[in-house]
Structure 1
Amino acid sequence: MTGTVLKQASPIDADNLKRARLISDKAFELIILPTEQCNFRCIYCYEDFSIGRMKPEIISGIKALLETRCPNLSYLNLSWFGGEPLVAKDIVLNISEYAMSLASKYSHLHYSGFMTTNAYLLDLNTASALSNVGVKHYQISLDGPREIHDRSRVRADGKSTFDKIWNNLLAIRDSLLPVNILLRIHFTPDTVNYLDPLLEDIKKEFLPDSRFSVFFKGIEHLGGPNDASIQIFSEADKNAAIKILEAKLFGNNLKSPQNAAVPDNPVCYAARPNSLVIRANGKVGKCTVALSDERNHIGTLQPDGKLKLIPGRFAPWIRGIETLDPDTLACPLVSLPTSDEIAVNLQRKALAV
């Protein structure tokens, strides 16, 4: 009797397969900041709101870039960030409608839209309009029940925000919109013991609806002006708190698809070569956290859609593709080479030519 001998994949083959999945040129993600202004002033925010609305020439550049790339893509994701993207809702709708037209033009192209929003302006009419142009996935943050949330996620004029966000969520829940909403629940050592009422309300109002999912996020020091006054958890204590919160919300059903816990070996978008950040002023970056870090300014988008990259700035962000180091893939900003190191490496390569 003869049989087929199955060749076992070597570790090198497995590594190359993982790299191939990470660097696919058939997928493309643009994280777009249509404005860097915000209607909130969250106490832990790291942004400086120094840049306003995206100008028409940048919008034209994005459309031209999409027109160039889409014929050869299988997957396109436009991810909206800010500031608060809904402060510039017209720009979001404009570019998203253009992306929809390209998806209709190229039948092989799968297009999706995602938005990180505080949801204060996400009323049902807005959610419907966005759904019509393919923006159907949302991440929305809550800091606790009303009395906790309204201390930290306040409007720019200092007024409260919880009730309007909650009512917007309920209106979307009561609709038939084909959306997916990820509720990101923030906590600190000062607030973690006061989240139970919010968890009970989420369990009652949203978990019966499969369009809603939840994950827990410990507040971190990300360079904001109030970092010194905000207590944060150690990594170990944060993870322990997350397990307790997940148990409270999901009980014995921790493997529920609505429990959107961070995977064990995450790969940050900034570590992928096919993901770019387009800021409101046309600067191109890799990371939405390190907005004021010069190393994150990797180039500029031109009005004709071409990317004018700064030599040496792109490669350090995707160095994890070569090493497959899980820490570097999870957050390439950690241990990112300094500007001086980037310059030395660039000079060394030039001399080697």
Structure 2
Amino acid sequence: MRESRYNVWIVNGEYHYVFNALSGCFIRLTDEEQQSVEKLLVQGVLESNHNLVQKLVENRMLVADAQDELATLNRRFLSSRYDRRRFALTIVTSLGCNYDCAYCYELKQPSLIGDDVAESLLQLVNEKISNIESFKVSWLGGEPLLGKAKLLALSEQFIERCDQHKVTYNADLTTNGFLLNEQTCIELHDKKVRSVQVTLDGPAHIHDRRRPQKNGGATFWRIIQNLHHAVRYFNVNIRVNVDMENIDSVEALFRTLEAEGFRNKLMVYPAQVVAVDDGIPAPSATYNSCCLNRTAFANTQIDFLKLAVGYGFGKPSLPGPIGTSCTAMRTNELVVGSKGELYKCWASIGNPSEVIGHITHYKDSNGRLQKWLKYDPFSDEECRSCIALPVCMGGCAYHAMDPVQHDNRCDTFRHNYRDRILAYIEAQEKKAASL
């Protein structure tokens, strides 16, 4: 018996803690228990604590000498990649947008899903529905609520088919929040949208400069007004796109949200702004002076998450193990553009050089599909040796394939795992002390 390669040990006060990334499990040990485990591993002697050892084995912290953990992960990866029981679509209802964000990675074009694309989507679902157990739809843009009519109409058809075939259906929405009024919230909830992501880049004076309307108008307080409705209907996640320009204003945003009564009603998390130049004149191609690299963002993330927990906009957590990281690597998932063009990655939307086919002939993909389905983190020695592989599985394939953005492919857990585990321990101890 030996120790898992994915264990992380932390000593804090009188206790020893171990987190295993392969299982996502976390255990606290006394000094005596830790010494007993160490004696078992070094000398092969187990004097007592049989129940503790059994628990460590069950949680994959202790493994058989012959256990190949990389092979276990690879099987998990392939099972997720080729899983036909689950079907998912990301649907861009509108590539147009009512915002003018300086770091947007899309080349916005005022286009809405037409009847022909909608009909082809329904034909695709008809082909899939009898062979799947679950169907997930992510509504995306541009700004997807500019195409709300088609979103609602398609949702109704999707739900009807899933109900007929006893298939589990769920949907989420990524929106800038400007059009998310109460009536829209009611309509979306009625169509089984259960999770909504909205972006706020800081307090009003910061956010409005970074995320104005196309006419230059302010957006912050309109979003806040709409969030008061949204939290009654959805699980709301607030994304803060972080770079050097706004990182110091994060706490001011938390104070505003707290003053508006949102404590414990929504979650807030940070996202790295990445300046991608992939050959199209999207705003992000020239937005690079303020960006944080992955390591700097990972360090920033720790303080951000502590603030979020302190203000009631986050919960202490550790990342769990995954099979694959995203739609791009799974065979039974597609991204559908507003004109019916098909992609594998959200970051490819609006880029003609990344189109893999068209919804009207979705089985006739071109050669661009293969680069996504051949992406294999287990062929990368850096990934194979990384403590974060079970929770990352190679991270972002889009960045991994770009020599300029290669370092941004990794989950931040690779860079800050010890600090995140310690922050989790401290939060758990604080909670226990208050009981």
- The TM-score bracket by the shorter chain reads 0.7 to 0.9
- Where does residue 188 of structure 1 map in the other structure? 243
The amino acid across from 1:301 in the alignment is I
RMSD in angstroms over aligned alpha carbons? Answer: 2.8
- Where does residue 81 of structure 2 map in the other structure? 22
- Where does residue 214 of structure 1 map in the other structure? 268
- Identical-residue share of aligned pairs (%): 23
- Where does residue 99 of structure 1 map in the other structure? 158
- Deviation at 1:334? 3.0
Partner Cα distance (2:319, 2:106) in 1: 24
Structure 1 gaps of 5+ residues are 1-5, 339-353
Which residue of 142, 149, 161 corresponds with 1:83?
142
Which residue of 152, 157, 165 corresponds with 2:215?
157
Answer whether contact 1:143 1:149 (CA < 8 A) is retained.
yes
Partner Cα distance (2:355, 2:288) in 1: 29
Higher helix residue share: 2
User: The residue matched to 2:171 in structure 1 has which SS?
Assistant: strand
- Deviation at 1:124? 1.1
- Where does residue 238 of structure 1 map in the other structure? 297
Partner Cα distance (1:249, 1:181) in 2: 14
Partner Cα distance (1:239, 1:253) in 2: 21
TM-score normalized by the length of structure 1: 0.82
- Where does residue 366 of structure 2 map in the other structure? 311
Partner deviation per Cα, 1:138-176 (whole Å, 9 max, x = no partner): 111110000100001111111000011001001233x3x
- Deviation at 1:238? 1.2
Matched, 1:71 2:130: yes
Structure 2 gaps of 5+ residues are 1-62, 384-391, 404-435
State how many pairs are aligned: 322
- Deviation at 1:197? 1.7
1:292-303 matches, within 5 Å, as 292-302=350-360
TM-score normalized by the length of structure 2: 0.68
Answer whether contact 1:115 1:138 (CA < 8 A) is retained.
yes
- Deviation at 1:201? 3.0
Between structure 1 and structure 2, the one with the greater Rg is 2
Alpha-carbon spacing, 1:122–1:324, altered in 2? closer, same or farther (3 Å): farther
Partner deviation per Cα, 1:290-311 (whole Å, 9 max, x = no partner): 2354452111111xxx414333
Alpha-carbon spacing, 1:241–1:13, altered in 2? closer, same or farther (3 Å): closer
Partner Cα distance (1:54, 1:284) in 2: 13
User: The residue matched to 1:314 in structure 2 has which SS?
Assistant: helix
The amino acid across from 1:216 in the alignment is P
The amino acid across from 2:155 in the alignment is S
- Deviation at 1:335? 4.5
Which residue of 196, 200, 208 corresponds with 1:142?
200
- Deviation at 1:51? 4.9
Query: Which of 1 and 2 has higher RCO (CA within 8 Å, sep 6+)?
Result: 1
Partner Cα distance (1:254, 1:141) in 2: 14
Matched, 1:332 2:397: yes
Which stretch shifts more, 113-122 or 188-197?
188-197
- Deviation at 1:289? 1.4
- Where does residue 59 of structure 1 map in the other structure? 118
- Deviation at 1:274? 1.9
